[in-house]
Amino acid sequence: MPTFHRVCRTEDVPEGAVRLVEADGTKIALCRRLDKFYALSNFCPHMTGNLGEGSLDGDELICPEHFWRFKIHSGRCVSMPGKPAHSFPVQIDDDWVSVGL
């Protein structure tokens, strides 16, 4: 069972944005799409690009380094199947976003 860590307020991540956050020393790319939050490892499995500096295109997070694409719901890599980004559970409580590790 994961332990949840507060990482930011909901208002800190605008709709359609990606933010780099940290939970207990783990860097996470936090995405907001259609008022839901998704958390993926900050590190792209390709060449460890920073996904937290990427952008969203629909339900895909695009790595800023080499433009690999990852489904925000699951971390599945669209560009290179079999190379997913780790995904983390997210909870919202009293306008706080918490990520489970």
pLDDT of residue 48: 81
Q: Residue 59 sits in which domain range?
A: 4-100
CATH number for 18? 2.102.10.10
Count of the separate structural domains present in the chain: 1
Predicted confidence pLDDT, tens digits, the chain (101 residues) = 999 999 999 999 999 999 999 999 999 999 999 999 999 999 999 888 899 999 999 999 999 999 999 999 999 999 999 999 999 999 999 999 999 99
54, 37 Cβ separation under 8 angstroms = no
pLDDT of residue 43: 95
> Tokens for 8?
């930011």
